């Protein structure tokens, strides 16, 4: 009989986490949908055009046909639980996309085969590297006519380095993909598979001198033996795998599920997250251990506030095991809360689960004190643990607002406070000198969406104008 701690460790090692990031309209939400459908997590495959994807569930997202919020989903494939976070690609929504990087082992940067590398591709590759994540590139829309996928791969290598190497190759003009890691035979749209296989194996063995010697002596190494060096290469950024996919035709979707399970890091194989203990200049680095038997450390990377359902805190477990009976402290708060109900999210829906191990992304509802970036823990000694802060862009785009109805100022302040609690890149300030309430966001679109939320979700009307220049 396996002991309880062995079975929890096995459960943790069968968890994968990834965030879909990258430019808008590259097909991240469509890809999330295709993966859910392929894995049997949903019965029908929704589409952006019909406004029926799991990820883009907010009426505003459906109307705009763009994601505006990070959306958390999960599926099971080959006995492995895959948590993934779909993020908005627009630069105005970095307050949603960046925190997703704090909850995952792998940043999957999605590139549109038609438009190629975009400014947001470059930014997200850099953000993910700065958090020491494993990175992979997913080239989507390979069904598109007249695109040069070989040319795009050359662009990717020119921009992000020769370590960007395909794990699979498009074949039959993008109608399917062929594996080039476990397999070395056959043809592809890029020519013989053998060449890509060799490039990949050579890149992986480079991280370990013993494997280099074997490779030179024997001429090849069985890829099944390369798991440990491959994980090391991903951790060190010595390999950035590239996969090809079409979320529309389904080409490469099943293969991507297999890649996630077989090759992407589990919580024990990735670089540890950047935890620190202490405040300000006194803060010291600290390592959370992906060990389900230790005390709990979890990080809230997203907060959702629904006017009817209330607050939901969504967090990633980094250490320890959580159950419904867990009593958790929020940062340096004195009073613990009892978890009660623990959920895994599927877009707007959630399923109750009995426990969560390191790697799991779960949520609790109706805990008022929970806030964005909080660390949840069950040991008093961890009350000063934080995650190293993200380098968010500074919201400098200002708009003065006042309620249409006189006397509603207090309510306006409360509702805006809720919107700001959900969005680390939205700031609200009362400027005493001019007696104005000013919203600061990342751009015009960001603030327009905030105003639409005020109107549609909270049924609250405001008048807006440019903020008065400060005296």
Ligand X SMILES: Nc1nc2c(ncn2[C@@H]2O[C@H](COP(=O)(O)OP(=O)(O)OP(=O)(O)O)[C@@H](O)[C@H]2O)c(=O)[nH]1
What is the pairing mode between strands 385-387 and 275-277? antiparallel
**Whose Cβ is closer to Mg ion: residue 67's or residue 437's?**
67
* The only residue of 17, 67, 140, 168 in contact with Mg ion, by rule CB under 5 A: 67
User: Closer to ligand X at the Cβ: 90 or 467?
Assistant: 90
To Mg ion, the closest distance from the beta carbon of 309 in angstroms equals 23
The position carrying tokens 């079975």 is: 7
Give the whole-angstrom CA distance, residue 128 versus residue 107. Answer: 6
Nearer to ligand X among residue 32 and residue 376 (C-beta): 32
Which of 29, 437 has the CB closer to Mg ion?
29
Q: Which of 96, 121, 140, 319 binds ligand X (CB under 6 A)?
A: 140
Interface stretch with ligand X, choices 137-145, 290-298, 321-329, 453-461 (CB under 6 A): 137-145
Q: Which is nearer to ligand X, 26 or 437 (CB)?
A: 26
Residues 224-283 that bind ligand X (CB under 6 A): 246-248
Q: Which stretch binds ligand X (CB under 6 A): 84-92, 205-213, 215-223, 304-312?
A: 84-92
Q: Which residues, 367 to 426, sit near ligand X by CB under 6 A?
A: none
CA distance 340 to 395: 37
* Smallest separation, CB 28 to ligand X (Å): 4
143 binds ligand X (CB under 6 A): yes
Q: Is 66 in the site for ligand X (CB under 6 A)?
A: yes
- Closer residue to ligand X (CB): 49 or 222: 49
Which residue, 392, 373, 400, is CA-closest to 442? 392
The reply to whether 88 sits near ligand X by the rule CB under 6 A is yes
Q: What are phi and psi of 11, to 5 degrees?
A: -65, -45
Query: Residue 192 has which token pair?
Result: 């013989």
Rounded CA-CA distance 395/372 in Å is 17
Is 115 near ligand X (CB under 6 A)? no
Q: Which residue has the tokens 């960007």?
A: 164
| Position 29 contacts Mg ion (CB under 5 A) | yes
Which among ligand X, Mg ion, none contacts residue 48 (Cβ within 5 to 8 A by kind)? ligand X
Which one, 2 or 146, has the nearer CB to ligand X?
Answer: 146
Evaluate the CA torsion angle 269, 271, 273, 276 in order and state its sign.
Answer: positive
Phi-psi sector, 79: left (phi>0), alpha (psi -120 to 50), beta:
left
173 Cα distance to chain centroid: 30
446 near ligand X (CB under 6 A): no
Half-sphere exposure for 180 (CA within 13 Å, toward CB)? 29
The distance of closest approach from Cβ of residue 177 to ligand X in the complex, given in angstroms and rounded to an integer, is 12
Least distance (Å) from ligand X to the CB of residue 36? 13
Strand locations in 123-258 (E): 134-140, 164-166, 168-171, 176-179, 187-188, 191-192, 240-244
The residue number with the shortest CB distance to ligand X is 89
Tokens of 44: 């029908």
Cβ-based nearer residue to ligand X, 142 or 300: 142
The set of residues, in sequence order, having a beta carbon less than 8 Å from that of 415 and lying 6+ positions away, is 454, 458, 460
Residue 144's binding partner out of Mg ion, ligand X, none, with CB under 5 to 8 Å set by partner kind: ligand X
Closer residue to ligand X in complex, CB, 206/452: 452
Question: What is each CA distance from 293 to 70, 296, 297, 331, 387, in whole angstroms?
Answer: 30, 9, 11, 21, 21
Q: How far is the CB of 85 from Mg ion (least distance, A)?
A: 11
CB burial of 188-227 (b: ≥16 within 10 Å; e: otherwise) equals bbbeebeebbbebbebbbbbbeebeeebeeeeebebeebe
Under the binding rule (CB under 5 A), the answer on residue 30 touching Mg ion is no
Binding mask 9-48 for ligand X (x = CB under 6 A): ---------------xxxxxxx----------------xx
* Contact (CB, 8 A) for 112 and 137: no
Residues within the interface to ligand X (CB under 6 A): 24-30, 47-49, 66-67, 88-90, 140-141, 143-144, 246-248
């Amino acid at each position: 009989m396996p002991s309880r701690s062995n079975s929890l460790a096995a459960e943790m090692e069968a968890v994968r986490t990834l965030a879909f990031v990258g430019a808008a309209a590259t097909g991240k939400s469509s890809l999330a949908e295709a993966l859910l459908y392929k894995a049997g997590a949903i019965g029908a495959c929704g589409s952006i055009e019909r406004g029926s994807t799991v990820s883009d569930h907010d009426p505003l997202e459906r109307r705009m046909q763009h994601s505006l919020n990070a959306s958390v989903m999960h599926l099971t494939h080959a006995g492995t639980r895959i948590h993934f976070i779909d993020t908005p690609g627009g630069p105005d929504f970095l307050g949603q996309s960046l925190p997703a990087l704090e909850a995952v082992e792998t940043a999957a940067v999605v590139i549109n085969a038609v438009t190629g590398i975009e400014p947001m591709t470059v930014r997200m590759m850099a953000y993910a590297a700065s958090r020491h994540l494993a990175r992979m590139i997913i080239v989507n829309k390979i069904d598109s006519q007249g695109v040069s996928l070989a040319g795009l791969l050359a662009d990717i290598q020119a921009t992000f380095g020769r370590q960007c190497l395909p794990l699979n190759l498009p074949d039959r003009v993008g109608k399917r993909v062929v594996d080039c890691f476990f397999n070395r035979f056959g043809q592809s749209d890029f020519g013989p598979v053998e060449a890509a296989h060799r490039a990949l194996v050579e890149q992986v063995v480079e991280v370990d001198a013993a494997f280099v010697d074997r490779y030179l002596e024997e001429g090849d190494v069985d890829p099944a033996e390369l798991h440990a060096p491959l994980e090391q290469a991903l951790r060190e950024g010595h390999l950035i795998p590239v996969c090809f996919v079409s979320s529309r035709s389904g080409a490469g979707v099943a293969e991507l599920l297999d890649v996630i399970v077989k090759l992407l890091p589990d919580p024990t194989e990735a670089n540890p997250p950047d935890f620190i203990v202490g405040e300000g200049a006194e803060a010291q680095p600290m390592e959370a251990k992906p060990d389900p038997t230790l005390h709990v450390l979890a990080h809230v990377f997203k907060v959702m506030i629904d006017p009817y359902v209330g607050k939901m805190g969504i967090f990633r477990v980094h250490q320890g095991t959580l159950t419904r009976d867990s009593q958790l402290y929020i940062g340096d708060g004195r009073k613990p809360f009892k978890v009660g109900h623990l959920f895994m999210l599927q877009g707007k829906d959630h399923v109750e689960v009995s426990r969560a191990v390191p790697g799991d992304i779960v949520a609790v509802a109706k805990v008022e004190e929970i806030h964005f970036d909080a660390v949840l823990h069950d040991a008093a000694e961890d009350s000063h643990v934080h995650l190293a802060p993200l380098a968010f862009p500074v919201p400098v785009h200002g708009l003065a607002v006042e309620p249409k109805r006189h006397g509603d100022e207090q309510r306006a302040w409360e509702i805006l406070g809720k919107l700001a609690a959900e969005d680390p890149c939205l700031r609200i300030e009362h400027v005493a000198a001019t007696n104005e309430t000013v919203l600061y966001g990342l751009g015009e679109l960001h603030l327009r969406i905030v105003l639409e939320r005020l109107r549609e979700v909270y049924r609250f009307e405001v008048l807006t104008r440019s903020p008065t220049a400060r005296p």
